[in-house]
């Protein structure tokens, strides 16, 4: 009897200890409690579990998780709000922010300077990371996933900068948000090696000067990079490809001046580069190929310089909306490589002895009728363009020093191989037939 009673007491004790509703249960502290107890400069190591509730960080600490650390917000407001300088947040998954666009709810909203957000995953949130009136922050190695249950216009942006400067945004992956990276009144930032896909605009950019973009990849968005009402932007060694909607583009410049667009890969887009009311820009050393329209430069854009670009195998190499072209197509007697130019280079200096001239009337059609984009896939377009070039209407360009295409020589060598192979096959076939007869 006593033995049974002892077993009963033991089981009862275990149940009381584990039962969540009892006063004997040990409650794990929330993140907010840990922050309140921490001293400035402390390292707070989170456990491999789900933490419930929104968090406000208002002292300089390092808050870091493990592979399974999840911070799940209440569904209202921001999940993480950073309000002090010098905070580091790393190695956590953040989810379930509010969804009010007027409040710009976010997975992480930062109001202070010189913070770091490293290797976080953000999902089921309106904006991913929102930088608000601050400077000197570093966002590195984060993965931001837009909420696919909302229409694209109802989603927030992957990374949003508002009056934010001197930040470094590097090696982040953004998929399925409204816009990938959005700039508004934010200058002197450096954006490098990010990958943005499945958004409206991979880069959406308003009233923001002196920013630099290096080695980023923008693919399968409605538009690649939309640079608007901004000056002195640098785009170097980025990739823009697979933007196929009717008005899609790799790079759009709208009232953007003194930009530097150099050594970018721009291919398989509806339009490679589109320019309107954009002046004094340098477009140099880019590979612009296999787009429906390589360059769509409206006559409102003047004093731009195009040099050392490879403009290859676009359905239309160049279009405009009419009027005379007022741009420079060579710099210091170095022009561009055009795949449709029959180059004559008698002195073997790599520059064609004859200028490259191209005119297109179809740009005017596209400017007046959006449905004209449907004809970009029609064989009739080639006939239309050839006829236009014969009558030589307005809307043409002239590259006085085009570079001889290297692929032409490769094509000739390849053709020789094909011919030799064909001749050899014929010889073998004839010998076989001769033996039979």
* pLDDT at position 347: 64
Which residue did the predictor score with more confidence, 318 or 13? 318
Pairing of strands 223-231, 251-257: parallel
Cβ contact 330:383 at 8 Å: no
C-alpha count within 13 angstroms, C-beta hemisphere, residue 48 = 3
Please give the C-alpha separations between residue 140 and each of 143, 159, 211, 288, in angstroms, as whole numbers: 9, 12, 17, 30
Q: What's the pTM value of the predicted model, to 2 decimals? A: 0.84
Read off the pLDDT of residues 150-176 as tens digits, 9 standing for 90 and up. Answer: 999 899 999 999 999 999 999 999 999
Read off the pLDDT of residues 86-105 as tens digits, 9 standing for 90 and up. Answer: 999 999 999 999 999 999 99
* pLDDT at position 246: 85
- Residue in 164, 276, 144 with CA at minimum distance from that of residue 211: 164
* Separation CA 180–CA 199 (nearest Å): 6
pLDDT at 204 over 60: yes
* pLDDT at position 359: 81
Cβ contact 257:282 at 8 Å: no
Q: Tokens representing 225?
A: 């990079």
Read off the pLDDT of residues 372-383 as tens digits, 9 standing for 90 and up. Answer: 565 565 665 666
């Amino acid at each position: 009897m006593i033995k049974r009673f002892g077993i009963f007491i033991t089981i009862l004790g275990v149940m009381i200890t584990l039962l969540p509703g009892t006063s004997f249960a040990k409650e794990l502290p929330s993140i907010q409690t840990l922050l309140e107890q921490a001293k400035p400069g402390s390292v707070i190591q989170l456990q491999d579990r789900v933490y419930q509730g929104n968090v406000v960080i208002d002292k300089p600490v390092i808050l870091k998780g493990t592979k399974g650390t999840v911070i799940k917000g209440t569904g209202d407001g921001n999940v993480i709000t950073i309000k002090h300088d010098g905070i580091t947040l790393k190695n956590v998954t953040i989810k379930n922010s509010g969804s009010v666009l007027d409040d710009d709810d976010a997975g992480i909203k930062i109001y202070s300077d010189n913070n770091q957000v490293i290797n976080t995953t953000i999902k089921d949130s309106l904006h991913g990371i929102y930088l608000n009136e601050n400077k000197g922050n570093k966002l590195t190695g984060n993965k931001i996933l837009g909420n696919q249950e909302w229409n694209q216009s109802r989603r927030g942006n992957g990374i949003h900068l508002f009056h934010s400067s001197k930040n470094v945004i590097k090696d982040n992956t953004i998929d399925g948000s409204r816009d990938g990276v959005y700039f508004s009144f934010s200058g002197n930032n450096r954006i490098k090696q990010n990958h943005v896909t499945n958004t409206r605009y991979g880069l959406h950019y308003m009233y923001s000067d002196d920013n630099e973009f290096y080695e980023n990849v923008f693919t399968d968005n409605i538009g690649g990079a939309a640079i608007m009402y901004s000056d002195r932007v640098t785009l170097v060694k980025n990739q823009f490809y697979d933007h196929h909607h009717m008005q899609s583009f790799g790079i759009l410049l709208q009232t953007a001046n003194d930009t530097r667009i150099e050594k970018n890969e721009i291919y398989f887009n509806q339009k490679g580069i589109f320019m309107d009311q954009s002046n004094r820009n340098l477009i140099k050393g880019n590979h612009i190929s296999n787009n429906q329209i390589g360059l769509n430069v409206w006559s409102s854009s003047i004093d731009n310089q195009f040099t050392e670009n490879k403009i290859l195998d676009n359905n239309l190499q160049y279009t405009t909306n009419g009027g005379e072209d007022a741009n420079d197509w060579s710099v210091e007697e170095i022009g561009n490589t055009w795949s449709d130019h029959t180059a004559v280079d008698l002195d073997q200096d790599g520059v064609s002895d004859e200028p490259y001239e191209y005119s297109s009337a179809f740009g005017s059609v596209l400017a007046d009728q959006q449905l004209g984009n449907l004809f970009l896939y029609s064989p009739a377009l080639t006939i239309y363009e050839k006829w236009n070039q014969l009558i030589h209407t307005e809307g043409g360009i002239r590259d006085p020093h085009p570079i001889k295409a290297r692929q032409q020589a490769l094509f000739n060598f390849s053709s020789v191989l094909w011919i030799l192979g064909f001749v050899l096959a014929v010889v073998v076939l004839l010998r076989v037939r001769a033996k039979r007869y």
